Chain A
Amino acid sequence: MKKTVNLAAGIVLLLFLLAISGCNSGASDETGQQAQQSAQKTGTLQFIANGEDFVRQGFVSKDGWAITFDHVYVNLSDITAYQADPPYDAHAGGAVQAQNKAALAGTYTVDLALGDENADPILVGEVTDAVSGHYNAISWKMIRATEGPAEGYSMMIKGMAEKDGQTVDFTIKDEQEYLYTGGDYVGDERKGVLQEGGTANVEMTFHFDHIFGDAETPLEDELNTGAPGFKPFASIAKNGRVDVDMATLESMITQEDYQKLQAMLPTLGHVGEGHCNVEKL
């Protein structure tokens, strides 16, 4: 009798363990299937570079110079979009944690001033088999170009400024390299939400009013108090021209203006209106 009871108890326990084990194994299979399905759901993710209307249409600097741009070259590499989890916090910085990424191979010299004043932002490239989901973070490097019109520089700005009948043709070059990492796009529309078989885009936005300031923004606004404006460049123009890189500029303008410029240059990269974390490389 005792043996029978023990045997029955043992069978009950064994069945219980098998039941739990079976449930667990089913859950694992389900997770595996979901992952596989998710991997198969893809779409096209486009990478956009945008100098905004400031670059396309020109604007008036904080010190009254009407600025228009012929070319604004930025040399971009290591462009990667992420489905960040947890969402990326640009203020905290650090690396993006994401299971799904979409990356553009290669280096791209992009002219943000390409096209007329109503031109669309620049399509840098696209990934046609990006895993569907919400791409809520992006990173990119701005490195010195090894060829092309901006060779030797990570950024080159060419344009004309005019004030009170005086005109200055300018070329401003930056040799510093940067790594930008941004979170969710901030703007009128939501970007980066890629549906299966669909097309979505993520944007690298560049704010050139950070260098020159903006006459349409109050002068006491942080944007204008931090921006050097165009006056420092105008003051070193010869025969209506100025062509400088950062190394030569340092000895030509006041330390205050130079420091302001050096503080602003890394802040050009944004995601819409959202700030990026930036590292100098």
Chain B
Amino acid sequence: MKKIFIIFITVLLMLWPVAAFAHGVDINYQTKTAVEIVAKFDTGQPVSGAQVIVYAPDNPTEPWVTGKADENGRYIFTPDPSKPGTWDVQVRLAGHGGVVHVPVGGDNTAASGSTGYGTIQIVVMSACVIWGFIGTALYFGRRKS
């Protein structure tokens, strides 16, 4: 009987924290890169309330998202990083407008890819590294023999 009581209390204590966290909040985070557009007229005045249309690089004809600039001509959107390339953002107000081109993701990869080494240079460098390993192996192999 005493044993059953102890088990009961133990189970109760195990359940208690579950009840305590029933109204808890599960918070996760994910970092994303947002793009801020600020549109101004040539005079420096903000293009307040301008219509904004964002086109993703994989579909240049259909808007990816549309919105409105705030009173300071500012608009923020978060491009989908799985769609690398040039994102086009069109801003219009009362017959005035323009398009700004925002490079996203892929360009960075391309930039890091273009390190300035040519294909031949890379091949020669790789060959040198491999030969270094082989040479080292041969050196130690000779000492043993």
User: Which A residues have a C-beta under 8 Å from some C-beta of B?
Assistant: 1-2, 5-6, 9, 12-13, 16-17, 20-21, 24, 86-87, 134, 183-184, 186-187, 190, 193, 207, 209, 217, 221-223, 272-275
Across the interface, B90 reaches (CB within 8 A) one of A1, A5, A24, A184, namely A184
The distance in angstroms between the C-alpha atoms of A134 and B88, with both chains bound, is 12
Q: How far is the CB of A9 from chain B (nearest CB, A)?
A: 4
A17 and B130 alpha carbons, distance in the complex (Å): 10
User: B8 in the interface, Cβ–Cβ < 8 Å?
Assistant: no
Contact of A21 with B99 in the complex, beta carbons under 8 Å: no
Given contacts A86-B101, A274-B97, A275-B98, contact A184 B88 (CB under 8 A): yes
Contact B98 A186 (CB under 8 A): yes
Inter-chain contact A2/B101, CB cutoff 8 Å: no
**Of B22-30, B67-75, B76-84, B134-142, which stretch is located at the interface?**
B134-142
A221 partner residues in chain B, CB cutoff 8 A: 94
A217 to B41, CA, bound (A): 16
Nearest chain-A residue to B142 (Cβ)? A2
Q: Is the CB of A190 within 8 A of B131?
A: no
B60: which A residues are within 8 A, CB to CB?
134, 190, 193
**Residue in B closest to A52 when the chains form the complex, CB atoms:** B95
Assembled-state Cα–Cα distance A152/B93 (Å)? 37
What are 12 A-B pairs at a CB distance below 8 A?
A5-B138, A9-B134, A9-B138, A12-B130, A13-B130, A20-B126, A24-B123, A184-B99, A190-B55, A190-B60, A273-B95, A274-B98
Q: How far is the CA of A272 from the CA of B138 in the complex (A)?
A: 71
Interface set, chain B 13-72, CB cutoff 8 A to A:
41-43, 55, 60-61
Chain B residues positioned under 8 Å from A12 (CB to CB): 130, 134
Instruction: Give the nearest-CB partner of B93 in chain A.
Output: A273
How far, in angstroms, from A193 to B59 measured CA to CA in the complex?
10
User: Who on chain B is nearest to A272 by CB?
Assistant: B97
- Are A1 and B126 interface neighbours, CB within 8 A? no
In the bound complex, what is the Cα–Cα distance between A9 and B137 (angstroms)? 10
Q: Taking the complex as formed, is B145 at the interface, i.e. its CB lies under 8 A from any CB of chain A?
A: yes
> Chain B: residues with CB nearer than 8 A to chain A?
41-43, 55, 60-61, 86, 88, 90, 92, 94-99, 101, 119, 123, 126-127, 130-131, 134-135, 137-138, 141-142, 145
If A186-B90, A190-B55, A222-B41 touch, whether A17 touches B99 (CB-CB below 8 Å) is no
Minimum Cβ distance to chain A for residue B98 (Å): 6
Nearest A-chain residue to B103, judged by Cβ: A86
Contacting pair A16 B141 (CB below 8 A): no
Q: Is the CB of A186 within 8 A of B97?
A: yes
Most A CB within 10 A of own CB, among B41, B61, B88, B95: B95
Instruction: Tell me the bound Cα distance from A184 to B54 in angstroms.
Output: 13
Cβ contacts under 8 Å, B130 to chain A = 12-13, 16
Partner of A16, one of B92, B95, B101, B127: B127
Closest 7 pairs (CB-CB, A-B): A273-B97, A186-B97, A184-B99, A87-B101, A9-B134, A190-B61, A193-B61
In Å, the complex CA distance between A121 and B61 comes to: 21
B142 CB to closest chain A CB (Å) equals 7
CA distance A221 to B41 in the complex (A): 11
A183, B97: Cα distance in complex, Å: 12
Using Cβ atoms and an 8 Å threshold, which residues of chain A touch B145? 1
Contact of A13 among B86, B97, B131, B141 (CB under 8 A): B131
Residue of A nearest to B135 (CB): A9
Known: A1-B145, A9-B138. A273 touches B119 (CB 8 A): no
Provide the residues of chain A in CB contact with B97, threshold 8 Å: 186-187, 272-274
Residues of B contacting A16 in the complex (Cβ-Cβ under 8 angstroms): 126-127, 130
Query: Which residues of the partner chain B approach A21 to less than 8 Å between Cβ atoms?
Result: 123
In the complex, what residues of A have CB within 8 A of residue B134's CB? Answer: 9, 12-13
Contact A6 B138 (CB under 8 A): yes
Chain A, Cβ-Cβ closest to B95: A273
Expressed in whole angstroms, the minimum distance between the Cβ of B132 and any Cβ of chain A is 11
Query: Taking CB as reference atom, which chain B residue is nearest A5?
Result: B138
